[in-house]
Structure 1
Amino acid sequence: MASDAGSNQSVERALTVLRVFTAGRAELRVSDVAKLADLGLSTASRLLATLEAAGFVDRDPVSGLYRLGLDTVSLGGAVLNSHPVHREARQIAQNLAAELGLGVNVAVRRDASLFYLLNFEGRQAPRAFVLAGQRNPLHATGLGKSLLTGLTAAERRALLPADRLVSYTPRTITTHADLDAEIERTVTRGYGCELEELALGRACVAAPIRDSSGGVVAALSVSGPLSAIDLQRREAELSRAVIEACDSISIGLGYVGPAHHVPMEQVR
């Protein structure tokens, strides 16, 4: 039992070290990893050496800095390729980004945040980084609010206490009353909009994706700079395209329409 406990602790510590690299800086010193993972310097050094030998981190021979290794890409690719939402959404999202010239993102909910499964860049919405695998707040994004349509008001409050409704810009929703109203609008229209709530100068249109049970399992958005997305002129066009894309993905996941399932609010 003592040996098992020690092995489990080593695995947990190694995973903590890997997660440190997903939190911001791409390259870190051993001392940085030790501090961020709350480990002793010798422990951090030993774990990094083991992870390097396994291909999960790489060490720059000149600077001595560590970064995630390419073998993590193989793991990530295998995870995404086996995920049903990713399989159904990938081609649809790629086609939509090419058609509209905007970014197209698909995300699922992971605890109290959204988790990007994939994103494609349109010619009017380039990015210098990959969104897949990153997280963002639920209350400050169109994707997040679409995901929250699958929860009751009480469940939303339990998931996101008032102190978690953090303000990112002057437009960010920071009260549950306002969040409830926005989610109700999203449910009524079948789509939601986000205008500079997470970052100034950007906007999106998003809608939920459902599976065979009728539950909300993911969401899709089109996003980009204000000059490209131009909600005042393009909202009808973009919302129609987003809803159609979400319907196609939902059908691929086995969803057969609202007439064939009882709304989750009624079940509760």
Structure 2
Amino acid sequence: MSADKSTNQSVEKAVAVLESFSDGQPLRVGDVARAAHITQSTASRLLATLESAGLVERDPLTSLYFLGAELLTLAGVAINENPIHRAGRQIAQDLAFELGLGVNLAVRRGAELVYLCNFEGRRSPKSHTLMGQRVPLHATSIGKSALVGLTSSERRALVLTAYTEFTITEPVALDREAAVIARRGYATEVEEFVLGRASVAAGIVDQRGRVMAAISISGPRTTIDLEHTQDELGRIAIEKADRISSVLGYHGPRAQ
């Protein structure tokens, strides 16, 4: 039992080391030790092991560590095996081309959504990929579209961090927002997570009608112009979400 416990703790520490790079910045051994809450000697040993496996790499000039290329291989396998990605990738890509806006797919993981893929339209370019990034349920349209799958008590357990002055931070306001989303079938967001951005999203459901993921249409606030396009983009988001849900095996009425 003690050997199993030691092995489990080693794995947990190795995971903590990898997660210390989640901000996307190269780190020194001491930085990793502080972020992972382990000793510097343990961090050094684990980094050496992870480096030999290709999961981290080290710049020989600066001695800074960064995530390794082997993770790209594993991430690619995970993405390609994901049923939501398989069902929705082409739909999202075609829609981004048609609208000239960004289109994103994300899957719910607890109190967050994780982006599976994103496509930039000609009117909504990005210099980086969103794949793998996590977003909160309360501050983005793609996150808020999953709110209808939570009870009021589950919503009230969320940490309502303020990202901008427009972020919903009151539980009562979040309940009202969830009711609106359930009624009309789509969620909206205007500068609640990132200033200058806006989006519309609809939930994707599994075979039992439970919201498990979402698709969003996004872009610069002035380009997407939700004041005039919200209803039309909401209708499109619902239609695409329904298509993906159907591929995933759901053939009933949309859950309200």
Structure 2 residue 14 is matched with structure 1 residue 14: yes
Q: Provide the residue aligned with 2:108 in structure 1.
A: 109
Structure 2 residue 47 is matched with structure 1 residue 52: no
Whole-angstrom CA distance in 1 between matches of 2:249 and 2:40: 51
Q: Provide the residue aligned with 1:178 in structure 2.
A: 173
Structure 2 residue 240 is matched with structure 1 residue 245: yes
Tell me the secondary structure at the aligned position of residue 130 of structure 1.
Answer: coil
Q: Given residue 3 of structure 1, which amino acid in structure 2 is its aligned partner? A: A
Whole-angstrom CA distance in 1 between matches of 2:4 and 2:250: 44
Tell me the secondary structure at the aligned position of residue 200 of structure 2.
Answer: strand
Equivalent of residue 258 in structure 1, options 239, 253, 256: 253
How far off is 1:231 after superposition?
A: 0.9
How far off is 1:154 after superposition?
A: 2.4
Q: Given residue 179 of structure 1, which amino acid in structure 2 is its aligned partner? A: L
Q: Given residue 223 of structure 2, which amino acid in structure 1 is its aligned partner? A: A
Q: Provide the residue aligned with 1:126 in structure 2.
A: 125
Q: Provide the residue aligned with 1:191 in structure 2.
A: 186
Whole-angstrom CA distance in 1 between matches of 2:213 and 2:6: 38
The runs of 5 or more residues in structure 1 that have no matched partner are: none
How far off is 1:257 after superposition?
A: 2.2
Of the structure 1 ranges 141-150 and 4-13, higher mean CA displacement relative to structure 2 is found in 4-13
Tell me the secondary structure at the aligned position of residue 149 of structure 1.
Answer: helix
* Count of aligned positions: 256
Q: Given residue 96 of structure 2, which amino acid in structure 1 is its aligned partner? A: A
Q: Which stretches of structure 1, 4 residues or more, deviate above 4 A after TM superposition?
A: none
Q: Provide the residue aligned with 2:146 in structure 1.
A: 147
Give CA-to-partner distance per residue, 1:182-202, whole Å, 9 cap, x none.
111111111111111111111
Q: Given residue 101 of structure 2, which amino acid in structure 1 is its aligned partner? A: L
- Is the 8 Å Cα contact of residues 208 and 220 (structure 1) preserved in structure 2? yes
Q: Given residue 61 of structure 1, which amino acid in structure 2 is its aligned partner? A: P
Q: CA RMSD in A?
A: 1.5
The runs of 5 or more residues in structure 2 that have no matched partner are: none
Matched ranges for 1:221-236 at <5 A: 221-236=216-231
Tell me the secondary structure at the aligned position of residue 200 of structure 1.
Answer: coil
Equivalent of residue 166 in structure 1, options 149, 157, 161: 161
**TM-score relative to the length of structure 2:** 0.95
Q: Percent identity, please.
A: 55
- Is the 8 Å Cα contact of residues 108 and 147 (structure 1) preserved in structure 2? no
